[in-house]
Amino acid sequence: MKKNLSLLATLLATLALAQQPDPMVNQRWNVFSLNKLSTRFNNTGMLCDGNNQNLNQARRPSFEYPIGSGLNWATCIGVAVGAPANQDPAVVGGVNPENLPYLDGTMDEGPADFWNEEHFAPYPEFAGNSAAPMSHQPSTWPAWPQFFPGTNIPVVVGSEGWPGFGPGGERLAEVESFSVVYGWGGTDQLGGGANVETRWLNTQMEIRGLAWSGSLYEDFIIWVYVVRNINPAPIVDMRMGIHVDYSFLPNFDTPAFGDADRHYYDPTLQLAYATDDDGYELSMDGRTLGPAQIAWGGVIALRMPGGDHGVAAYDASHFWEGQTSAWGSGGAPEMFYQWNLLNENDPHDSNGDGIDDDFDLNGVPDAEEGGPGYYVGSGADGLQILGSHSFTLGPGESDTLIFATVFGENQNDLFTNAKRAKALYETGWTVVTAPPAPVVEAKPGDRQVTLFWDNHSEKDPQFEGYKIYRSLDGGTTWGTESFQDFFGGVHYLPLEQYDLVNDIKGYYQTLPEYAWFYLGDDEWLPVQRVVEVDTFQYFEAGDTLNFFVDRDVVNGLEYRYYVAAYDSGNGIVGPLENTPATNPAEKNNAVAVIPRGAVSTANLEAVRVVPNPYFVTAAWDRGQERQVQFTHLPEKATIRIFNSAGEMVRELNHDAATSPAPSLQSWDLKNYHQQLVAPGVYFYHVESAIGETTGKFVIIL
């Protein structure tokens, strides 16, 4: 009889689920891109692309670092919520005939890696329009409801119309995201069938991302998950964990797959981190990367739910390590709950405290044997879980998980940035900033670029000067010469520096660890100009502007500049300067510009191809689409490109009326079939109403 009742319950559940609409129609995506770290995230709690191994399904950027490099280091970062089977029926959903533990995750890595898809769904009233809601994009905001669904807890909206993380709903960070989700069974259950036994906890989560600009905060993003019990009964012995899946680089489609990564855990900082194992990778676009180009990435737990708000368990494993064995990585909810979230009976745990510390499996913590400590060579797809202590939520109660996704140029830089994230949290989100960044505008000329910027940075009482930086690779690097500071951070020598004449000069001396920062030489040289005619996008007649002319440029190449204001420092932190804005098309301190000559009107003698020769691995090509530029073109022209055998590989039609640079025409080095052409000598023929010209150029690997 019991068996028949169980079958009847399963059948009824199947019928109900078959009629259930898919709540994932309310899934939305957006991008954090304020600083050096950029990632796409969604409003269901997944913090990167979700299937980075398969290029046709990847959603970039996926923790791209540094921004603009085209190097994405993550497969999936998310959060898991679990509890044992002995729960009140009022707090669970689905059916659980085998009385198994509950485990819901915000991760979705596809059927190859994850047990079920999407265990949290977005509330439609918080979904926003075409993108996940972010504070700096009012067009993404929904009409905020008065209360969180199923509760009498108000949604507090600040003066900007945004439900910020600060007191009174004010925005706390420079850029914030906000979404609200609920536990459910995932899309695998829709339509019934084999997965009808999907089970879940009836929980609600508020999810926020927080990012600040400035050199102290440019390498991390803070994430806040508030889990709430919306049931009339308590949920007992809950656990929350951070699912960390970095891969350096994650890619099944190049020889990089199979190259081992190395995962570490620092128990003092509660930092799970990783990098490449042998200092060699092949990027997805075919670039060979050495140790200096391979990032270090990690997750630092700042506040865990339950207990002392610290990490209670750390598990490092590999998805292919026997998913049906007692030390597998969790191929099903009950496996993940026991072996990853609680880290029970793991042979990597030498003393049974829940923290993996013995990866050579000899019963002695690796750190005590003089080894690198807390490591595992995990192949191209590794997994780390940071688990909380046990906690119980009564009806309407909540608890909070806070962590930072953090990156660095090297191990020292990673640790420095992790400590900065920790200090930001522990000081109650007290932000120390440089003077306000100037607004910059650029005017291209013939073999020159003129930068203009306003002077409102100079009103800051600690303002000390300006530094001008130039990039030839879309902002991946900011100069031809670089150095490391005492923390491992990488800095570039500026193209130009202007320092107030106030006897504050030379290298900073107050704090020895900041003695690398050059304050200038008491030379204040920026020429100022009062705008007489309103020919600017951001400035008006009567504004007083600083300006600088860069004459060391080549027509046709795209240059990116930013102007940083810096201060004189203090006894707590050293001098600070602005970091570059990531979108030069917006009103900020960064610009992208292509110097160019005038449109040819009499003849075509000035037409050239730049750069010539074109080096595929040249600095300006890293992270950007490969291209050359034809310069000094007339208003209209036809350009035909031939290989050394005389075969035409491409024809381009130039029209100044539709071109962003009237005298320029770019070629992406692709033939008619959209294939990259081979290295070699190429010839061009330009035909126009004012004449014809020919020439040649060289493409070199």
3 state DSSP class of 13: helix
Shortest CA distance to 403 belongs to which of 381, 382, 418? 418
Supply the pLDDT for residue 259: 55
Amino acid of residue 458: E
Based on DSSP, count helices (H) and strands (E) in the chain, helices before strands. Answer: 3, 39
Supply the pLDDT for residue 535: 82
The DSSP symbol for 421 reads: H
Fold entry, domain 608-700: Immunoglobulin-like (2.60.40)
Whether residue 383 has pLDDT greater than 90: no
Are the beta carbons of 612 and 619 closer than 8 angstroms? no
The DSSP symbol for 436 reads: P
b/e sequence 573-586, b meaning 16+ C-beta within 10 Å: bbbbbbbbbbebee
Record the tokens describing residue 335, joined without a space: 């496996």
Supply the pLDDT for residue 124: 96
Whether residue 192 has pLDDT greater than 90: no
Most confident of 13-22, 283-292, 491-500: 491-500
Record the tokens describing residue 375, joined without a space: 């490591």
Give the Cα separation of 492 and 330 in Å (integer).
44
Please tell me the least confidently modeled range out of 111-125, 337-351, 442-456: 111-125
- What percentage of the chain exceeds 70 in pLDDT? 86
Instruction: Please report which confidence band the pLDDT of residue 258 belongs to, taking 50, 70 and 90 as the band edges.
Output: very low
Supply the pLDDT for residue 372: 54
pLDDT (tens digit per residue) in 504-529 = 999 999 998 899 999 999 988 767 88
Whether residue 605 has pLDDT greater than 60: yes
pLDDT (tens digit per residue) in 132-190 = 999 999 999 999 999 999 999 999 999 999 999 999 999 999 999 999 999 998 877 77
b/e sequence 35-50, b meaning 16+ C-beta within 10 Å: bbbbbbbbbbbbbbbb
Strands of 463-526 (E only): list them. 463-471, 482-484, 490-492, 496-499
Supply the pLDDT for residue 110: 55
Instruction: Please report which confidence band the pLDDT of residue 619 belongs to, taking 50, 70 and 90 as the band edges.
Output: very low
Give the Cα separation of 345 and 317 in Å (integer).
13
Instruction: Please report which confidence band the pLDDT of residue 9 belongs to, taking 50, 70 and 90 as the band edges.
Output: very low
Supply the pLDDT for residue 318: 57
Supply the pLDDT for residue 112: 42
Shortest CA distance to 73 belongs to which of 249, 218, 222? 249
Mean pLDDT, rounded, for 681-686? 96
Whether residue 405 has pLDDT greater than 50: yes
Shortest CA distance to 243 belongs to which of 164, 333, 169? 333
Supply the pLDDT for residue 6: 46
Mean pLDDT, rounded, for 542-550? 92
Mean pLDDT rounded to a whole number for the chain: 86
Record the tokens describing residue 552, joined without a space: 């060391």
More confident call, 372 vs 211: 211
Please tell me the least confidently modeled range out of 33-42, 62-71, 463-472: 62-71
More confident call, 673 vs 45: 45
Instruction: Please report which confidence band the pLDDT of residue 380 belongs to, taking 50, 70 and 90 as the band edges.
Output: very low
